[in-house]
Amino acid sequence: MWRGGVAAVGLLRGRGAGSPRAASGATAASVQLRRRLEKELEGIRGAGTWKNERVIASRQGPHLHLAGGGAGILNFCANNYLGLSSHPEVIRAAVEALETFGAGLSSVRFICGTQSIHKDLEEKIARFHQREDAILYASCFDANAGIFEALLTPEDAVLSDELNHASIIDGIRLCKANKYRYKHMDMQDLEAKLQEAQKHRLRLVATDGAFSMDGDIAPLREICQLAQKYDALVFIDECHATGFLGPNGRGTDELLGVMDKVTIVNSTLGKALGGAAGGYTTGPKPLIDLLRQRSRPYLFSNSLPPAVVGCASKALDLLMESNAIAQSMAAKTQRFRSKMTAAGFTISGKDHPICPVMLGDARLASVMAEDMLNRGIYVIGFSYPVVPKGKARIRVQISAVHSDEDIDRCVEAFIEVGRKHGALP
């Protein structure tokens, strides 16, 4: 047996120092590792930042069954913005792809892992975003991990919003370009950093299109103007925009009228576009060609499973057939935001289905979220270190498949719970 395997089995079984293997280096190391891990876990619990996972025993959707009995729970914390995760046509497309193309490819794309459906989906993504070409990844995390290193060298510079998603931050860490971090959506600071970065060969401004913790939308018009002035390229992460922002759901760049000014779009298939998994980059053809040659998460990871490709492909068909789906959520978002504001709550962001109910105090956010669940409403409290200290909140996410009654029930529960815990007078 592989030695690491023996150590791992010992670790899992919790052999102590007195076990028959105590004399071997591997076992001593595993005991030491177990102690270190337990200490670290205690630290996380002690800091109050332990993340529990609630187990769902039904499909993703506005109404959930939780394992252990909770039935008829109203769900307000998924990124299922368009309700396509359990759409019958999306599910049927997944089943058909599974039956026709099998469970998976057992291969990366360039060895023997490219099927016609992968090429079709890439073509469809590029058409949807009105870009030249697209490349699929196992996730948008991977797309973000792969792009900066492949594109930028020590001669170049990347300018990144300080509140960009963790995967952008990690992707930038992996590249050797000069790094500039500008204050969140602060155009004066971005301009100052662009001036500083003039000495480099190429400048890339990287920003989330919509920021997931605050529901705020990047000022892309201004970013693109600055990029033009200082000869920079613009990259956006559209995970919380693709499928529903803009008149046809193309995203933040469509919403703000700058589709022709943003060079690179990364996004996910794991949120509004069917919710299964997968991510992509879309942009100029030579960039996509280069990513196929150089991007490590693409080159060294398995192809997307056919069922996942089937889901995303059908979701895009639905969105390209009609803009009714993309438009369907806006009125519900508006209903929730205006009723909550009228009740006295502060909702961060503007016109985005991510509606953070700002509470300030971490304990208040946590007990209120728990009490909402007691009333059958599933929402999640976020506090430091996920959001800045003193800015704890409950993040509510609206979906096109919430009914007006669902939204009103959620607002009523917030008012009751808010009064009970002193968040409202």
Does 75 bind ligand PLP (CB under 6 A)? Our answer is: no
Catalytic residue (one of 165, 271, 391, 402): 271
Does 253 bind ligand PLP (CB under 6 A)? Our answer is: no
Nearest Cα neighbor of 242 from 296, 278, 201, 285 is 278
CB of 270 to ligand PLP, least distance (A): 4
Query: Among 138-146, 290-298, 355-363, 388-396, which window interacts with ligand PLP (CB under 6 A)?
Result: 138-146
Among 239, 264, 319, 357, binds ligand PLP (CB under 6 A): 239
In whole angstroms, what is the distance from residue 118 CA to residue 106 CA? 14
Our CB check for ligand PLP shows the closer of 218 and 364 to be 218
Our CB check for ligand PLP shows the closer of 76 and 414 to be 76
Query: Among 15-23, 140-148, 330-338, 398-406, which window interacts with ligand PLP (CB under 6 A)?
Result: 140-148
In whole angstroms, what is the distance from residue 415 CA to residue 365 CA? 14
Assess contact for 357 and 340: CB atoms under 8 A: yes
CB of 109 to ligand PLP, least distance (A): 17
Token pair belonging to 278 = 């997968």
Catalytic residue (one of 118, 165, 193, 240): 240
CB of 108 to ligand PLP, least distance (A): 18
In whole angstroms, what is the distance from residue 86 CA to residue 61 CA? 7
Q: What is the DSSP string of 150-164?
A: HH--TT-EEEEETT-
Query: Among 18-26, 145-153, 221-229, 233-241, which window interacts with ligand PLP (CB under 6 A)?
Result: 233-241
Does 149 bind ligand PLP (CB under 6 A)? Our answer is: no
Compute CA distances 197 → 79, 226, 342, whole Å. Answer: 36, 13, 45
Q: Is 203 left (phi over 0), alpha (psi -120 to 50) or beta?
A: beta
Size of the site for ligand PLP (CB under 6 A): 14
Interface of this chain with ligand PLP, residues 155 to 214, rule: CB under 6 A: 165, 167, 208, 212
Among 85, 268, 282, 303, binds ligand PLP (CB under 6 A): 268
Does 270 bind ligand PLP (CB under 6 A)? Our answer is: yes
Among 76, 81, 101, 141, binds ligand PLP (CB under 6 A): 141
Does 307 bind ligand PLP (CB under 6 A)? Our answer is: no
CB of 137 to ligand PLP, least distance (A): 8
String marking each residue 21-50 x if it binds ligand PLP according to CB under 6 A: ------------------------------
Examine the residue annotation and report whether 212 is marked as an active-site residue of this protein: yes
Residue written as tokens 């589709």?
259
In whole angstroms, what is the distance from residue 336 CA to residue 116 CA? 42
Assess contact for 221 and 255: CB atoms under 8 A: no
Assess contact for 148 and 175: CB atoms under 8 A: yes
In whole angstroms, what is the distance from residue 270 CA to residue 277 CA? 4
CA 305 to chain centre: 20
Examine the residue annotation and report whether 314 is marked as an active-site residue of this protein: no
Token pair belonging to 325 = 């789906």
DSSP-based three-state secondary structure for 387: coil
In whole angstroms, what is the distance from residue 317 CA to residue 114 CA? 21
String marking each residue 318-337 x if it binds ligand PLP according to CB under 6 A: --------------------
Nearest Cα neighbor of 353 from 371, 370, 328, 320 is 328
Token pair belonging to 176 = 């050797």
Catalytic residue (one of 85, 139, 160, 212): 212
Q: Which residues are catalytic?
A: 212, 240, 271
Footprint of ligand PLP (CB under 6 A)? 139-141, 144, 165, 167, 208, 212, 237, 239-240, 268, 270, 279
